[in-house]
Structure 1
Amino acid sequence: MARERNKRSAHGDIAKFVFVMMAVGWYLVRYKYARRARREKVATSARGLRENTLLLISLTGLGIVPFIYIVTAIPHFASYAFRPAQAWLGVFLAVAALIMFRLTHRALGRNWSLSLDVRENHRLITDGIYRESRHPMYSAFWLWAVAQALLMPNLVAGFAGLIGFGTLFFGRVAREEQMMLETFGDEYREYMARTGRIIPRLF
């Protein structure tokens, strides 16, 4: 019995390590593009209290809450028995999320922005990973959030990502698409007609 508990504990530590590595990988992917984006002039922006609040809620759910759990195991009351098969699925989704992060950042290049910004000489990207989905970056974050729920055997820390990012997504995506319509007009309408928001042909 003790041996089995130790084995589950070791697997749980590995799952936590995978989550940390997912966060590190995300940072390494984003760092270069974030530096480059700061040098690009912004033509139109929706930054403000609402946008900053949504970003903070997402950061709390995807980063702050799970890292508190990793370091302290808090909140203890929400923990449940670790399931290796569940964690392995989480590992697969974590890898998929990082691949999507890399592809979306590479496709956007200088057009990437943390917030809702339209840059000078902004170009509408409709090829590569953007061919079938208008917001594959959001798809990557949904994968992150689901991977987090699977990797962490804690109802609060695990599901915080889905709640945090879900709040950002549903509070922002309509405004983002309106911004794109105002910027690109019929070109974006045609793009919307043949693509899904985050899942090709479905949603």
Structure 2
Amino acid sequence: MSIALGQTIWLVGVIAWFVIRYPYARRARRTATLRRDGTWREGVLLAIAFLGLFAIPILNLATGWPRACAYDPGYGLVVPGAALFAFSLWLFRRSHKDLGRQWSAALEVREGHRVVRNGVYRTIRHPMYASFWLWATAQACLLPNVVAAFSGLVAVAVLFFARVRFEEQMMIETFGEDYRRYMQETKRIIPGVY
């Protein structure tokens, strides 16, 4: 029973993620892009995130692959996993709302872009990445397969550590001292820690 519950919570969470993102993505397309880091690296990193957070878990839910890595997470993991996923969705939505039209899935600077310091951005610079870390941790608790469960953590680690320094460099180049001050005032993803 805990297996079906964990899988259901994960699937509902993924659907909620798309429902949250859709209106912001639609709105963002109408805002002009002034600068974009459209390198091959960006495409590869987003593909890795897609594989670890969507494709591998969906393949596992649909087919059970890889069967040799299946296990029962039990309610001891499913319940905290559900709470983590709910919190990650709240943080995901909040970060989109605080960014407004400045949000972009790619590394972009939009028309009218500014350094956002309100809402969750008061305490951390990258709340959307924090929400992905929480989602990946929740996925590890909810899915009954080691490969599907941990593919999200691997994917988010690759995305975050390979991308965040380029993102911050782009912000420094665009906003200069204003962004440097903001970096000194905040931590990357864990308030007061990192």
TM-score with structure 1 setting the length: 0.94
Q: Which residue number in structure 1 is paired with residue 76 of structure 2?
A: 85
1:23 aligns with 2:25: no
Q: Which residue number in structure 2 is paired with residue 43 of structure 1?
A: 34
Once residues 53 and 156 of structure 2 are traced to their aligned partners in structure 1, the CA distance between those partners, rounded to angstroms, is 7
Q: Which residue number in structure 2 is paired with residue 125 of structure 1?
A: 116
Structure 1 unaligned runs (5+)? 1-9
Q: Deviations over 1:86-128 (max 9, x none)?
A: 1111000000011001100100010000000001111211111
Letter of the structure 1 residue corresponding to residue 155 of structure 2: G
Once residues 82 and 160 of structure 1 are traced to their aligned partners in structure 2, the CA distance between those partners, rounded to angstroms, is 16
Count of aligned pairs between the two proteins: 194
Q: CA deviation at 1:48?
A: 2.1
Letter of the structure 1 residue corresponding to residue 112 of structure 2: N
1:192 aligns with 2:192: no
Please identify, of 77-86 and 142-151, the stretch whose mean Cα deviation from structure 2 is larger: 77-86
1:158 aligns with 2:149: yes
Structure 2 unaligned runs (5+)? none
Once residues 81 and 126 of structure 1 are traced to their aligned partners in structure 2, the CA distance between those partners, rounded to angstroms, is 42
Once residues 149 and 8 of structure 2 are traced to their aligned partners in structure 1, the CA distance between those partners, rounded to angstroms, is 14
1:182 aligns with 2:169: no
Q: Secondary structure at the match of 1:201?
A: coil
Once residues 73 and 106 of structure 2 are traced to their aligned partners in structure 1, the CA distance between those partners, rounded to angstroms, is 36
Q: CA deviation at 1:11?
A: 2.0
1:106 to 82, 97, 102: 97
Once residues 30 and 171 of structure 2 are traced to their aligned partners in structure 1, the CA distance between those partners, rounded to angstroms, is 21
Letter of the structure 2 residue corresponding to residue 111 of structure 1: Q
Structure 2 contact 73–141 (Cα < 8 Å) conserved: no
Percent pairwise identity: 44
